[in-house]
């Protein structure tokens, strides 16, 4: 079976439990931080400043396994 590893953001304080933000999946942690930071930044901020705001609000990164749709472990 073909599988790969990547990174994604998740909300550590999500309700009812932590949840992964699937649209943030990337091959590197830095790419995830930039994607999330771009959504959280204020005008004039950098993407990494936006990431710091998201982090303070409870956003974290985690390693993920990427498999073809319908793949089994």
Helix, strand, or coil here: 12?
coil
Give the residue with greater pLDDT, 55 vs 69.
55
Percent of the chain clearing pLDDT 70 (strictly above): 93
Q: Is 20 exposed, middle or buried (0-12, 13-18, 19+ CB in 10 A)?
A: middle
> Per residue in 9-18, pLDDT tens?
999 887 778 8
Q: Could you give phi then psi for residue 39, rounded to 5 degrees? A: -80, -25
Average pLDDT over residues 21-32: 94
Binning pLDDT at 50, 70 and 90, where does residue 3 land? confident
DSSP per position, 15-56: SSS-EEEEEEEESSHHHHHHHHHHHHPPTT--HHHHHHHHHH
């Amino acid at each position: 079976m073909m599988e790969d590893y990547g990174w994604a953001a998740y909300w550590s304080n999500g309700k009812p439990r932590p949840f992964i933000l699937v649209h943030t999946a990337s091959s590197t942690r830095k790419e995830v931080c930039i994607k999330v930071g771009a959504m959280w930044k204020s005008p004039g901020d950098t993407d990494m400043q936006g990431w710091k705001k998201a982090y303070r609000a409870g956003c974290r990164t985690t390693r993920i396994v990427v498999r073809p749709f319908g793949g089994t472990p």
